[in-house]
A and B are shown apart, each in its own frame.
Chain A
């Protein structure tokens, strides 16, 4: 299991994701720390986000159907995920209670995602049965997030941060 988590961290870091390994009790403190470092004043969260993940300090805005312009006025978003994939360094958002609406993890400039170690699957084939189940039974929308928004459209030079979040922070809970 540890080898899988280590690979996940390695792949995330290759994608320039800021990975922070934290104990379950320290999530909120680490979120507060990230917010302070990056000047986040308004942090959007799904209404069902666990209370123990929410930081003191930044003002936490619950996403009760926020309009696009209201999402745009947030500095950052904080969500959980349904599972993660080590091989490709992917977060899988499948409209679970802590995952939030798709727009929430997309519009703000900084995106923080909480992943627990037991959510990390080795590769896509291993992760697919779970994802497929959620689609077959509930028609859930699913997004794979593998690194920050990026483009290579000008002379194949990679530029990070085009339309989606420019900064991706993963809080990996052991």
Chain B
């Protein structure tokens, strides 16, 4: 767990996988078009997004107060609320609940929070079989793989690959084509037995509502309703940043989430769970509030906005990096632009220092974000932090020297001259195609344009007179004087 994640190496490997790139291209283009149409239909999308941004910032600003309110309300409604500082603590709580009730098999709804803490593996170690019931999560689980997309975890699979997997695992000798209808039917039959006999259900949470202690889960397949309704015992693992003050706030997020996520006006099912209801659904309900690095992220004045995220994944589908390398290259359950800012903040810059650089800073992610997270701003701030905390000494020295040279026109001109002289022997046909170590990385994927034979300032001096009367010398000084006169 402690080895540093090497995004460039993982990305290179992913880029070489033609099939992966084809699967990703098709799927992300489809979902992008759906989202664009669904959002365009909202005439007040910008206003809603601004409201949602303020709502989440307000909630994060008084998180402890809202969590206390949530806990009190949920307990008054019959739920039991637990607090977990990290993944291990949360896993222990959930495994303990299963053990206390003699549960050896449980059904799980798709949940990023439980993926984040490795709950399935922890339960397996405790002798409990956790069955993933979302179709994509089931595919990933049966394949012994990990999710590569926040919303469509098996986005990297083609129908043929799913068919082959099901034939190997759950098809029970049945003939099978690669028609998604047939594949979904196989999973329905396999899972229905498990829903009907399950002693315990586990879910994540899309939103928690402080005023009533309500947990909202959103889904399309109905597996979530099965998990939250049929078993007598239910556990929800909820990241602490999911809490909002009121049910009206939930209504606002429900208008933005499905449209941004799947491009639907509303998901097939949204369930609002408030404690225990006698005679309807589970009669014992536990909620585990998970920190796992969130409070640390909250302490960063720029980076904290990443905690506004409602996990819609719109930023993944528009990202020129994600849509080519896929989710696995990010080495985290949270991939793509949001993952590049969330992962290092939650689990440490030491391990994920390269993720903030996994972006072209094109800004497409910020444009689609339904809660107004300025992802490029956070990326830049994290890059600065990575350099401060992680950059190797020679690199720091080199940039220090560059800053010194750029600090005065005279030093800059001298550096240009020196650079030109150093480059000359490397130039081939007007380009520098290969720099020697330690600069080789610069020319690995691109050619370098050499420093001009004559700079603009040199040309100016030659054409219009000595350097002292040039444009660089006169204008800024005039400008400075103007500003100076305005100052008191």
Q: Is the CB of A152 within 8 A of B152?
A: yes
Most buried by B among A89, A131, A132: A132
Chain A residue at smallest Cβ distance from B26: A155
B267 at the interface (CB under 8 A from A): yes
A95 at the interface (CB under 8 A from B): yes
Q: How many Å from the CB of A63 to the closest CB on chain B?
A: 10
Q: Is the CB of B226 within 8 A of A139?
A: no
Most buried by B among A72, A140, A153: A153
A-B contact pairs, 20 of them (CB 8 A): A11-B265, A68-B197, A101-B280, A102-B228, A124-B254, A131-B272, A135-B274, A136-B247, A139-B275, A140-B274, A143-B225, A146-B266, A150-B268, A151-B221, A156-B26, A159-B181, A162-B223, A163-B192, A163-B222, A164-B221
Q: How many Å from the CB of A101 to the closest CB on chain B?
A: 5
**Inter-chain contact total with CB atoms closer than 8 Å:** 172
The 3 closest A-B pairs by CB, nearest first: A164-B222, A88-B266, A149-B222
Q: Is the CB of B222 within 8 A of A162?
A: yes
Contacts of A128 in B (CB 8 A): 247-248, 251
Q: Is the CB of A152 within 8 A of B262?
A: yes
Q: Is the CB of A163 within 8 A of B268?
A: no
Contacts of A140 in B (CB 8 A): 274, 277
Q: How many residues of B contact A (CB 8 A)?
A: 65
A57 at the interface (CB under 8 A from B): no
Q: Is the CB of B262 within 8 A of A124?
A: no
- B233-272 contacts to A, CB under 8 A, are 246-248, 251, 254-255, 262, 264-272
Q: How many residues of A contact B (CB 8 A)?
A: 48
Contacts of A89 in B (CB 8 A): 265-266
Listed in ascending order, the chain A residues whose CB lies under 8 Å from chain B are 11, 65, 68-69, 72, 85, 87-90, 95, 101-103, 106-107, 124-125, 128, 131-132, 135-136, 139-157, 159, 161-165
Q: How many Å from the CB of B347 to the closest CB on chain A?
A: 27
Q: Which of B5-13, B157-165, B458-466, B474-482 contacts its partner?
A: B157-165
B150 at the interface (CB under 8 A from A): no
- Knowing A89-B265, A154-B154, A159-B184, say if A141 contacts B196 (CB, 8 Å): no
Contacts of A156 in B (CB 8 A): 26-27, 30-31, 152
| Bound-state Cα–Cα, A141 to B181, Å | 31
